[in-house]
Structure 1
């Protein structure tokens, strides 16, 4: 049974994961109130969320969760947060204070969106943003807060970023199986966890909707779009920072831990690549 009449706080509510979580929670058909936390409530994305049923848009971010919690009318039953960016110190600081405050304030449940470690959970990757997620995970697991940790692989939406799809035929290792997940599916998973905490409590779940070799990715892309990615120019973005380049290489050259079969054991509706591309094409012709 889904929970009734609860208060959910979604940090980063105008980001890909957060906005999807808010939208899926509003479809639950209950009396739940969703507090959408965003730095700029006046933005177009925030104003769009404000039109949804049971949503209250609040100014704030994960650097000051106490301010956000103070605006909740009643208890905070569930919280979602997903540290972003490349500043590891800020991520760790915000993650720890979120967990500490949740324990002190009696927050019912925390959903933490971490990352897929691609076989390096116990190794040092040298990438600060990835290492920060490990610290936060360990801190949460050792706390007294009830939690679920989600470990999504790379967003399928990244295919539309300049240079990302171009890299598939030219830079992805030919035999490496790479995975992807639609950000909307991450939000849907967050929604299901918050609505059914007893079932998901203490679980660490990798999120993947599609997996395949570079040839598989290119085949599906051409099937849906009609474009042969091998004809794209071989290039890399030379303007990337050193840390971003390290992250990109880590993503390209390491096989993900998450597997579609295991993800679908919890969330059978996750989109594969073809479904994702067809949906994107229907909304905005490529």
Structure 2
């Protein structure tokens, strides 16, 4: 700054008498002031450069003009690309997530609500029936082990409004499951519709179940299922309503009914919970409580190991 203020103002040219002496003086003065002038030029460049950086930093966030963007060069273009990229990614992610995640959750929620709406009221379920049965027609393929094959029929009490064929489909699915009783590689099952059979799966009203089970001295109290002789008796109320532990998964509870009562037919007795947090055995009376176990409806686990617990007298 000082060198600008000390720079002499322009003056008229000197006459010839003083030209040589003035020329020498100017050379001497010029020689002495050259470093100062260079320093001034350097300082000006630095100020201009610094001013440019400050201007650039202030204008980029606000977007700037097209002229400023061109003046900033490739660095400015890069910065603009970096600023716009994150916004594009976020918007794309939101666009991808919103339709799928929320939509699927809403559909699942609506499905569960509809399922609950379809669940019958306990008061609408008939408590007694005629005690006669319709047998599901046709037959199924043999499933399970080859040591022995047990044949069975599926029957539904007349007048309860459930087709025998529908019940037969569910029973076949349960007995054919890889985690079912056939997982031991010994016993196999095959559904038949006529002729002799080893056992019968019978869906009936609570009154009929009480009557048939009571003939063998069992008190089912209008609430539970039983196995007596050749009959696997399934209480209609449990088939439709399950229990509090399976209220949201009635289909799984039906598997538990079949596996528990067929297990009795195969000679398995009641067992207890093997330990807190472990799967409840199917031969455990889960309707009376889980006692620290977690719900489970299959005799074997996914690796072919029997799920059991301490014997209960």
Q: Please say whether Structure 1 and Structure 2 have the same fold, judged by a TM-score greater than 0.5.
A: no
Radius of gyration: which is bigger? 2
Normalising by structure 2, we get a TM-score of 0.27
TM-score (norm 1): 0.29
